[in-house]
């Protein structure tokens, strides 16, 4: 698992996974086990499994909508947008190549907004960016 390499060992679940190796998930705050292995969270874990990933899709749509609401002409919001796109890649919701194009478009939107006559092209690029993110969703 790629994300496991980014998570320090002391932050990982202490349980043994079905495959026999250590669980690679992050442990719950104040606990030694992750959401799926913590006996106190078993009912919630069963409900999440029963949802069949619907919660993940809803979260992805919500986070995409939050990204689209950011003002890419504001440097801090542009940075937040880039980080959000990379999070979508790390969680497997967006292909790296598409993310590169989305981030490139965001940079173009930011750069064009600094030009005096950029309002029309910024709007067109924002619409193209929104369409690209929705296609990935």
For residues 103, 108, 109 and 112, what is the CA-based torsion angle, rounded to 10 degrees? 160
pLDDT reported for residue 116: 53
Contact between residue 34 and residue 26 where contact means Cβ atoms under 8 Å apart: yes
Residues 100 and 42 in one domain: no
67, two tokens = 């990204």
Question: For residue 102, which of 131, 65, 70, 59 has the smallest C-alpha distance?
Answer: 131
pLDDT, position 111: 82
Query: Do 46 and 92 fall within a single domain?
Result: no
pLDDT of residue 130: 84
Number of domains in the chain: 2
Which segments of the chain have a pLDDT < 50?
1-5, 61
Q: State residue 6's pLDDT score.
A: 57
The pLDDT value given to residue 2: 42
In this predicted structure, what is the pLDDT of residue 54?
55
Say what the pLDDT of residue 51 is. Answer: 66
Residues 25 and 41 in one domain: yes
Q: What is the pLDDT of residue 3?
A: 44
Task: Verify that 12 and 42 share a domain, yes or no.
Answer: yes
Whether residues 25 and 70 share a domain: the answer is: no
In whole angstroms, what is the distance from residue 95 CA to residue 68 CA?
18
Structure confidence at residue 90 (pLDDT): 80
Query: Is the same domain home to 126 and 85?
Result: yes
d(CA 54, CA 108): 34
User: How much is the pTM?
Assistant: 0.45
Domain that holds residue 39: 2-50
């Amino acid at each position: 698992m790629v994300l496991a390499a980014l998570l320090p060992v002391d932050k990982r679940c202490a349980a043994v996974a079905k495959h026999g190796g250590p669980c690679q998930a992050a442990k719950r705050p104040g606990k030694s086990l992750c959401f799926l292995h913590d006996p106190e969270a078993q009912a919630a874990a069963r409900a999440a499994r029963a949802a069949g990933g619907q919660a993940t899709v809803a979260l992805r749509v919500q986070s995409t909508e939050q990204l689209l609401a950011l003002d890419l002409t504001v440097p801090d919001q542009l940075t937040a947008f880039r980080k959000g796109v990379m999070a979508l890649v790390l969680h497997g919701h967006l292909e790296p190549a598409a993310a590169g194009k989305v981030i490139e478009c965001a940079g173009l939107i930011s750069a064009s907004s600094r030009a005096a006559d950029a309002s029309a092209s910024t709007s067109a690029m924002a619409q193209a960016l929104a369409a690209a993110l929705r296609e990935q969703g």
